[in-house]
C-alpha cells in the first residue's frame, strides 16, 4: 500500500525507522531537536527518541561534524544535518580529510558509517553564499558516496540505504522540494545506491539530470512533446558512484544527449557525464552533447538575475532543438 506524503515526511520516516531499528543511529545538527529542524524534517523526533539521540548543536559545523566522525569511528551511525550544504564548507576538513579517508588510512581496520545530509543548490533569492551546488564538490572525493534526490519515494529509500551503508555518504536534498508530495509505500523498502532511474521513457533525445533539475527536465519534455519531440528523462539519483550503464542504454536508443546540471559549467557533474558518454557510447551519438548549466558566476540576489542564472525549461528546450537540428 502507498500513500501520498511530502519529501520532508519521507526523510523523517527514513531516519525514524532506522533509529528504531538500530540504537546506534542518532541525529545531530543545528535546530534539529527543540525547533524540529530548520525545515521541519525532524519534527517530533526529539519527543520520540530523546535528547541523547536527537542532539541540538552549537553553530559550529567543523565541531559537530568532527564529533560525528569520531562517533562513527567508534561504532555509532550518526546522521549529521547541515542546515544547508553551503554551511558544510566549514566542515570540509572533517568530511574530506577524515571521514572520506578513514577506511584507506586504517588499511581497512576502521570504517566511517556516517550520513552528512542537508539541502544543496539555489532556493530563490538567497544570494551568493547560500546558493551553491555541492554534488560535484563532494563527488570529486574518493571515499565518499554522493546521493542527490528530488522526490519523496527516492528520498526515503535512498536515505535508509545511506544510513545502513558502511561508507560516509553525502546526501543532497533541495529546500524547494521539501513540500513536494509523492507516493511512498507503507511497507519498508530500500533503494540501492548507485542506480539511476528512467523517469520518462521516450526515443528522440536523452535528458540527464539530478535533484530539482529533474523537474525542469520533465517540464521541458512535456513542452517538447507538443512539438513532436519525445524526450527521455533520467534522474541520476547517485552522483558517486555514477550509473553510466543506464545512460548508455538510453543513448543507444535516442542517439542524442542533453545534460542539465544546476552547478557551474566548469569541472562539474555535466562535464564528467559528457566525457564518460563520449568514451563509452561515442559511436551511438548522432550529435554533439550539449550541457545546460547555471551561469558561470556567483548567483545575484535580484529575481531577474536568478532567472538568468538558473537552468529552466526554455533553455533545455533550446538545447534539445540544437541536438535535434530543429530550428
Summarize pLDDT for 199-215 with one digit per residue, the tens.
999 999 999 999 999 99
Q: Which of 214-223, 228-237, 300-309 has the lowest mean pLDDT?
A: 300-309
What value does the mean pLDDT take over residues 70-92?
97
Please say if the pLDDT value at position 123 is more than 90.
no
What is the pLDDT confidence band of residue 314, given thresholds at 50, 70 and 90?
very high
Q: Which fold has domain 2-185?
A: Rossmann fold (3.40.50)
111-to-30, 61, 95, 258 alpha-carbon distances in Å: 25, 21, 13, 38
First to last CA, the chain: 47
117-to-86, 159, 174, 270 alpha-carbon distances in Å: 12, 9, 11, 22
Domains 2-185 and 197-323 share a fold: yes
Please say if the pLDDT value at position 300 is more than 90.
no
CA distance 208 to 243: 11
Average pLDDT value over all residues in the chain: 96
pLDDT at 122: 86
Domain boundaries, the chain: 2-185, 197-323
The fraction of the chain above a pLDDT of 90, given in percent, is 91
What is the pLDDT confidence band of residue 301, given thresholds at 50, 70 and 90?
confident
pLDDT at 326: 77
Closest C-alpha among 75, 139, 80 to residue 269: 139
Q: Which of 49-53, 77-81, 105-109, 257-261 has the lowest mean pLDDT?
A: 105-109
Laid out side by side, the sheet with 290-293 consists of 197-200, 231-235, 205-209, 257-261, 290-293
pLDDT top residue among 210 and 307 = 210
What value does the mean pLDDT take over residues 118-137?
88
pLDDT at 242: 97
What is the pLDDT confidence band of residue 306, given thresholds at 50, 70 and 90?
confident
| Cell reading at 131 | 546558493
CA distance 128 to 5: 32
CA distance 172 to 258: 22
What is the pLDDT confidence band of residue 323, given thresholds at 50, 70 and 90?
very high
pLDDT at 158: 98
Please say if the pLDDT value at position 95 is more than 70.
yes
Please say if the pLDDT value at position 291 is more than 80.
yes
What is the pLDDT confidence band of residue 125, given thresholds at 50, 70 and 90?
confident
Catalytic annotation, residues: 61, 130
pLDDT top residue among 263 and 300 = 263
Tell me the per-residue pLDDT of 238-287, one tens digit each, with 9 for 90 and over.
Answer: 999 999 999 999 999 999 999 999 999 999 999 999 999 999 999 999 99
Tell me the per-residue pLDDT of 142-191, one tens digit each, with 9 for 90 and over.
Answer: 999 999 999 999 999 999 999 999 999 999 999 999 999 999 999 999 99
Please say if the pLDDT value at position 222 is more than 70.
yes
Chain Cα centroid distance, residue 2: 23
pLDDT at 327: 64
* 197-323 belongs to CATH 3.40.50.920: yes
Amino acid at each position: 500500500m502507498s500513500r501520498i506524503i511530502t519529501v520532508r515526511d519521507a526523510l523523517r520516516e527514513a531516519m525514524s525507522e532506522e533509529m528504531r531499528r538500530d540504537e546506534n543511529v542518532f541525529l545531530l545538527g543545528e535546530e534539529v531537536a527543540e525547533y524540529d529542524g530548520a525545515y521541519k524534517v525532524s519534527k517530533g523526533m526529539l519527543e520520540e527518541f530523546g535528547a541523547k539521540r536527537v542532539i541540538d548543536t552549537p553553530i559550529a559545523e567543523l565541531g559537530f561534524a568532527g564529533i560525528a566522525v569520531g562517533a562513527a569511528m567508534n561504532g555509532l551511525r550518526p546522521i549529521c544535518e547541515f542546515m544547508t550544504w553551503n554551511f558544510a564548507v566549514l566542515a570540509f576538513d572533517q568530511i574530506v580529510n577524515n571521514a572520506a579517508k578513514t577506511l584507506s588510512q586504517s588499511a581497512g581496520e576502521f570504517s566511517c558509517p556516517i550520513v552528512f545530509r542537508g539541502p544543496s543548490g539555489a532556493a530563490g533569492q538567497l544570494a551568493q553564499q547560500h546558493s551553491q551546488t555541492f554534488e560535484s564538490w563532494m563527488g570529486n572525493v574518493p571515499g565518499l558516496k554522493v546521493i542527490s534526490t528530488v522526490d519523496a519515494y527516492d528520498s526515503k529509500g535512498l536515505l535508509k540505504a545511506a544510513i545502513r551503508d558502511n561508507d560516509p555518504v553525502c546526501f543532497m536534498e533541495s529546500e524547494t522540494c521539501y513540500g513536494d508530495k509523492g507516493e511512498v509505500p507503507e511497507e519498508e523498502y530500500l533503494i540501492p545506491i548507485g542506480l539511476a532511474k528512467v523517469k520518462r521513457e521516450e526515443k528522440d533525445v536523452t535528458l540527464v539530470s539530478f535533484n530539482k533539475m529533474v523537474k525542469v527536465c520533465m517540464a521541458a519534455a512535456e513542452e517538447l512533446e507538443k512539438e513532436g519531440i519525445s524526450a527521455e528523462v533520467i534522474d541520476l539519483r547517485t552522483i558517486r558512484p555514477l550509473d553510466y550503464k543506464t545512460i548508455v542504454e538510453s543513448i543507444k536508443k535516442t542517439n542524442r544527449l542533453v545534460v542539465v546540471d544546476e552547478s557551474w559549467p566548469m569541472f562539474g557533474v555535466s562535464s564528467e557525464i559528457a566525457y564518460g558518454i563520449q568514451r563509452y557510447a561515442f559511436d551511438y551519438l548522432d550529435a554533439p552533447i550539449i550541457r545546460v548549466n547555471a551561469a558561470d558566476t556567483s548567483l545575484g540576489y535580484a529575481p531577474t538575475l536568478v532567472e538568468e542564472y538558473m537552468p529552466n525549461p526554455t533553455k533545455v528546450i533550446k538545447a534539445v532543438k540544437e541536438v535535434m537540428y530543429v530550428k
